Amino acid sequence: MKINKKYILIAVVIIIAIVMISVYNKNNDNTTTNKENILQNKELRDNKSADEINRLWKEDILYLGKKLNSKHKNMYHSISKKEYESEVQLIIDDLPNLTDMGKIIKIKELVAKIGDGHTAVIENMEVKSFPVKLMIFEDGLYVINTIDEYKEILGTKLIKIGNEPIDGVIKRMGKMISRDNEVQLLMGTLNYIVNANFLLEYGFIDDINNGDFVFETLDGEEISKKLVSIRNIRNRKWLSIASKYSGLINMSYVKNGNQPYWFEYLPEHNLVYFQYNACINNKENPINDFTNKLLKFVEENNVVKFIFDMRFNGGGDSRVIEPLINAITKNKKINKENNLFVVIGKHTYSSAILNSLALKQKTNAILIGEPTGGKPNHYGEIKTFDLPNTGLTIQYSTKYFKHSNNEEDSIYPDIRIKYDFKDFIKGIDPAMEAILSK
């Protein structure tokens, strides 16, 4: 279908964004939203002195700590109150020397020190971004989407921004990423390394309107490119890597990323492939009806292997898929070792972590893939509040989920898979290859 070619590989990001928007709207605990803040209202900012503006920032920073202390499930589980207050004072003392973006970064770094991947700062501001979408592979970050003007960098590896190697960019920017583990740190940084506002503040670019990037082709040739940053980047027409490498169009784990859940039957392998991309109930294809249809198909057909793929599932409501998990647990046909496989990866997060853990504990499934982007035991069920003067939104956890006696930083697969870009563009899924070899 045409829609798959156009939105392939970015649809999962869209699904996660929809989930996050719905969570935000549901759980914002502000009675009103103050639009008259010093970040969004230039006139208001211009009518105040530097001292007055810094006083408003200080008020917000102190308000942040007070509010989190009363609202977060356990604010000081990783950082002591004394350490937190010391960090706060350092930021307040430095306010006169910081730009607005510098202040935002400091607050993000402060909240990241809480050590909870669900507790974070949402900027709520208009930004300029470079028209590049990246995907992580074993040997680096590759361009999977861009715009037509830069089609020559499609499928290349990003190796440098300005004069800084990409590893250095990730290391410096990673300090502001709220995370449960190192996988989540890397995933979170991807959102900022194409953000011109942040890149400018860190000194990786000299002009918010453009930046120097260096890419590497599969043949090892370096391409230096000056990219122009764009506002409202979502409205641009994107060019997909599928337009360059048609072999990956029909690869199961990327071809229907725009659907929260779906399945197909591979008769040559007596295999049902079920992909669960987001923990949400699709009203156009209600989960209860879908589950019944899937189970009926398994019962009426020669199904030997069953794949439950959550490698791109960023979370939502863990209860959505529980009826299917319970049914699989009782299904003697597929709940056997070397018959049932669960695919996990660095995008597997939040409620998808809980679902993966349930399958690991309740069934004979073999977990295959990469370590997950979140911990089995973690803080979650988020709510939000806004800082009154700056309008920054603070997302925070209200519950602690303990589902494992092991305090691991991730769910680790039984079979570790490495994703190679050269295999990817050929349409080779290493997880599927490993499963079929069993």
For residue range 101-145, list pLDDT tens digits in order.
999 999 999 999 999 999 999 998 889 999 999 999 999 999 999
d(CA 304, CA 289): 23
Q: pLDDT-derived band of residue 38, with 50, 70 and 90 as boundaries?
A: confident
Contacts of 425 (CB under 8 A, 6+ apart): 155, 241, 244, 245, 247, 248
Q: Three-class SS string for 292-320?
A: HHHHHHHHHCCCCEEEEECCCCCCECCCC
Q: pLDDT-derived band of residue 3, with 50, 70 and 90 as boundaries?
A: very low
d(CA 256, CA 83): 46
- What are the backbone dihedrals phi and psi of residue 373, each rounded to the nearest 5 degrees, phi first? -80, 5
Show the beta-strand stretches assigned E in 166-260. Answer: 210-216, 222-228, 239-240
Q: What was the pLDDT predicted at 403?
A: 84
Identify the sign of the CA torsion 243, 249, 253, 256.
positive
| Residue 431 near residue 150, CB atoms below 8 Å | no
Residue 69 is which amino acid?
Answer: N
Residue 364 is which amino acid?
Answer: N
Q: pLDDT-derived band of residue 175, with 50, 70 and 90 as boundaries?
A: very high
DSSP 8-state class, residue 248:
G
- What are the backbone dihedrals phi and psi of residue 160, each rounded to the nearest 5 degrees, phi first? -160, 145
Average pLDDT, the chain: 90
Q: Residues 189-215: what's their mean pLDDT?
A: 96
Contacts of 46 (CB under 8 A, 6+ apart): none
Q: What does the buried/exposed string (b/e) look like for 226-255 if buried means 16 or more CB atoms within 10 Å of the residue's CB? A: ebebbeebeeeebbbbbbebeebbebbbbb
pLDDT beyond 60 at 183: yes
- What are the backbone dihedrals phi and psi of residue 382, each rounded to the nearest 5 degrees, phi first? -80, 150
d(CA 193, CA 32): 33
DSSP 8-state class, residue 179:
-
In the beta sheet, which residues pair with residue 141?
A: 136, 158
For residue range 349-368, list pLDDT tens digits in order.
989 999 999 999 999 999 99
* pLDDT above 90 coverage of the chain, percent: 80
CATH class of the domain defined by 246-374+410-436: alpha beta
Q: pLDDT-derived band of residue 280, with 50, 70 and 90 as boundaries?
A: very high
Q: Strand 366-369 and strand 415-416: pairing?
A: parallel
| Residue 213 near residue 159, CB atoms below 8 Å | no
d(CA 84, CA 110): 8
Q: pLDDT-derived band of residue 191, with 50, 70 and 90 as boundaries?
A: confident
Q: Residues 411-418: what's their mean pLDDT?
A: 96
Angle, helix 322-330 to helix 287-300, in steps of 10 degrees: 20
Task: Return the residue matching tokens 């208009």.
Answer: 126
Query: What's the longest Cα–Cα distance across the chain?
Result: 74
Contacts of 108 (CB under 8 A, 6+ apart): 120, 121, 176, 177, 178
What are the Cα distances from residue 151, in Å, to 143, 170, 282, 309? 10, 24, 34, 31
Q: What was the pLDDT predicted at 29?
A: 52
132-230 CATH choice from 2.30.42.10, 3.40.50.12780, 1.10.10.410, 3.40.50.970: 2.30.42.10
For residue range 288-316, list pLDDT tens digits in order.
999 999 999 999 999 999 999 999 999 99
| Residue 350 near residue 344, CB atoms below 8 Å | no
Contacts of 163 (CB under 8 A, 6+ apart): none
**Structure tokens belonging to residue 271:** 């295999």
| Domain parsing of the chain, residue ranges | 132-230, 246-374+410-436
Q: What was the pLDDT predicted at 36?
A: 53
Q: Residues 197-225: what's their mean pLDDT?
A: 97
